[in-house]
């Protein structure tokens, strides 16, 4: 319950404050979002498996976001075009894996 509430609270805040991305930060935000989503699904899976640890969740959330941003920054500096795509792929794969596990737990357990 808390999860749903706080998530919508955050969305509400974002809408209410008309937050917009400073142009120079544009490539980093979607990556951070992807990383954060990955953590959320990972956390959800852990919760269903009974291995959820709030500290792990928070730390992995933040570190994933930071790592993703760093990766994109390095890629831009090194001239690797579209490194964002690689990041998206990686997190996408992980999200799908977590979703698969969740599906197994929910529908086969």
Partner 1 sequence: MKKQPETGAPDTSGSGRPRGQIAIALTLTLLGFLLATQLRSQQGLAQRLSIERESDLGQILTQLTDRSDQLSSEIVDLRVKLAQASGTQAQQHALIDDARQQLQALQILLGLVPVKGPGIVMVFSDPGGTVGPDVLLDAVQELRDAGAEAIEVSGVRAVASTSFTGSPRSILVNRQPVSAPYEVTAIGPASTLAEAMRIPGGVVDSLAAHSGASVRITEEGSVSILHVAALPQFVHARPTARR
Question: 25 or 96, CB closer to partner 1?
Answer: 25
Question: For partner 1, what does the binding mask look like between residues 52 and 81, x meaning CB under 8 A?
Answer: xxxx-xx--xx-------------------
Vertex 26: Cα angle to 59 and 96 (nearest 5): 50
Question: 3 or 93, CB closer to partner 1?
Answer: 3
Residues in binding contact with partner 1, number by CB under 8 A:
42
Q: In the complex, what is the shortest distance from the CB of residue 79 to partner 1, in angstroms, rounded to a whole number?
A: 22
Asked if residues 98 and 45 have their Cβ atoms less than 8 Å apart, the reply is yes
Residue 34, Cβ density class (10 Å: 0-12 exposed, 13-18 middle, ≥19 buried)? buried
Which residues fall within 8 angstroms of residue 69, CB to CB, at 6 or more apart? 28, 31, 32
Residue ranges binding partner 1 (CB under 8 A):
2-3, 5-15, 18-21, 26, 29-30, 32-33, 36-37, 39-40, 43, 47-48, 50-55, 57-58, 61-62, 105-106, 109
């Amino acid at each position: 319950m808390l999860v749903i509430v706080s998530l919508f609270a955050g969305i509400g805040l974002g809408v209410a404050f008309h937050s917009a991305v400073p142009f120079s930060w544009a490539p980093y935000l979607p990556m951070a979002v992807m990383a954060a989503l990955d953590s959320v699904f990972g956390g959800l899976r852990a919760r269903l498996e009974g291995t959820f640890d709030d500290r792990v969740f928070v730390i992995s959330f933040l570190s994933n976001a930071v790592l993703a941003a760093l990766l994109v920054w390095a890629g831009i500096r090194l001239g690797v075009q579209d490194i964002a795509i690689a990041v998206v792929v990686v997190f996408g794969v992980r999200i799908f894996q977590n979703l698969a596990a969740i599906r197994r737990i929910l529908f086969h357990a």
